[in-house]
Amino acid sequence: MTDAPRSVFPHRHLLGIEGLSPLDIQALLDLADEQVEVSRQIEKSKSTLRGRTQINLFFEASTRTQSSFEIAGKRLGADVMNMQVASSSVKKGETLIDTAVTLNAMRPDIIVVRHHAAGAVHLLAQKVDCAVVNAGDGAHEHPTQALLDALTIRRNKGRIEGLTVAICGDILHSRVARSNMILLAAMGARVRLVAPSTLLPPGIARLGFETFTSMEKGLKDADIVMMLRLQRERMNGSFVPSVKEYFRFYGLDQEKLAFAKPDALVMHPGPMNRGVEISSDVADGAQSLIREQVEMGVAVRMAVLEALASHLPNR
């Protein structure tokens, strides 16, 4: 009974933060806290998922997230298989369903999916019998990233409730931002969104989030400054004029960080564009939690896999 998962998580899949209650989130974070300790031991293996098959199905390249899920699965004793599907060979809709049906026939227990189209993971979840974890779908959600961010915040600040968190940068295209906004708000944080108007989703202010187009104003007295990655193809005239201009007005450097609280912490989901959305001295500075976020990533994914395992059919 030592490694038996607890039935605290009432969901069969983890498709997004949307739909999770604060209690669900808290349970996952508590579980993740325990996994941090497991990961820090010399003997890192558990047997929760022994004999189980975990398929990491990535339609979009992501070495970091995939490795994190792979390590998490292996530490829980699962047989992990990585499948890279070149997005060019997959044409949405039917082909995705075909893939799902094929995979399902291999009888996996958990499928971890990343897909470039929002909603693709939900579609796949309808077609398979096993648990599905969303590892990022389009610009929609990236729930494990939000959970690992929350865990990092909670471990450093002791709480999430009442904190002011500024999420800055390319909000429009960011699944990380979406999951974080929902999670942090649900847990009682005050969420601010800071970006040029071209990178703010239309109507976002009406959803109850404070929006700022000035870093100085948006960062004022913030406890947490969460930077987002700006994809280079989205710069140069389309959404913002240039890298230089973006860094000048929206890149996090010491000068802008000084507007936040003196003990404010800096986060970034990685990989970073140094000198674009964040300066090197801030990224590597004393206030940065960026490396810790990576460690928490493994713990959170172990927690998620373990929580979902409680719903898998018994052997």
Partner 1 sequence: MSNGLILFKNARLIDPASDREERGGVLVRDGLIQAVGPQVTEASDAQAIDCGGQVLAPGLIDMRAFIGEPGGPYRETLKSAGEAAAAGGVTTVVSMPDTSPALDDPAVIDFIVRRARDTSIVNVRPAAALTKGLEGREMAEIGRLREAGAIAFTDGARSVTNAQVMRRALTYAGDFDALIIHHVEDPDLVGQGVMNEGEFASRLGLPGIPREAETVMLERDVRLVRLTGGRYHAAMISCADSAGIVRNAKDRGLPVTCGVSINHLALNENDIGDYRTFLKLSPPLRHEDDRQAMIEALADGTIDVIVSDHNPQDVENKRLPFAEAADGAVGLETLLSAALRLVHSGRLSLPRLLRAMSTRPAEILGLPAGRLAVGAPADLIVFDPDAPYVLDKRQLRSLSKNTPFDEARLEGQVSTTMVAGRVVFQRDTM
Binding site feature residues for L-aspartate = 92, 175, 229
Known catalytic residues? 64-65, 92, 114, 142
Enumerate residues 27-66 that contact partner 1 by CB under 8 A. Answer: none
If phi over 0 gives left and psi between -120 and 50 gives alpha, with beta otherwise, what is residue 136? left
Pairing between strand 224-227 and 210-212?
Answer: unpaired
User: Between residues 47 and 236, which has the closer beta carbon with respect to partner 1?
Assistant: 236
Task: Evaluate the CA torsion angle 282, 288, 293, 294 in order and state its sign.
Answer: positive
Q: Which positions from 83 through 112 interact with partner 1, judged by CB under 8 A?
A: none
CB of 168 to partner 1, least distance (A): 14
Q: Which of 159, 232, 244, 291 binds partner 1 (CB under 8 A)?
A: 244
Q: Closest distance between partner 1 and the C-beta of residue 108, in Å?
A: 43
Q: Which of 108, 196, 218, 297 binds partner 1 (CB under 8 A)?
A: 196
The least distance separating partner 1 from the CB of residue 130, rounded to whole angstroms, comes to 42
- Applying CB under 8 A, among 63, 89, 102, 238 the residue interacting with partner 1 is 238
Beta strand pairing status for 190-194 and 210-212? Answer: parallel
Given 25, 240, 299, 305, the residue binding partner 1 (CB under 8 A): 240
CA-closest candidate to residue 61, choices 271, 290, 277, 278:
271
Give yes or no for residue 213 binding partner 1 (CB under 8 A): yes
Piece of 45-53, 101-109, 132-140, 240-248 that binds partner 1 (CB under 8 A): 240-248
Q: For 93-217, where are the E strands, in sequence order?
A: 110-115, 131-137, 164-168, 190-194, 210-212
Q: Which of 300, 311, 253, 256 is nearest to 131 (CA)?
A: 311
Single residue of 47, 95, 242, 254 touching partner 1 by CB under 8 A: 242
Gyration radius of the chain's alpha carbons: 19
* b/e map 138-153, b = 16+ CB within 10 Å: bbbbbbbbbbbbbbbb
Of the candidates 14, 3, 4, which has an alpha carbon nearest to the alpha carbon of residue 131? Answer: 14
Q: How far is the CB of 170 from partner 1 (least distance, A)?
A: 13
| Residues engaged in binding partner 1 (CB under 8 A) | 196-198, 213-214, 236-242, 244-245, 248-249
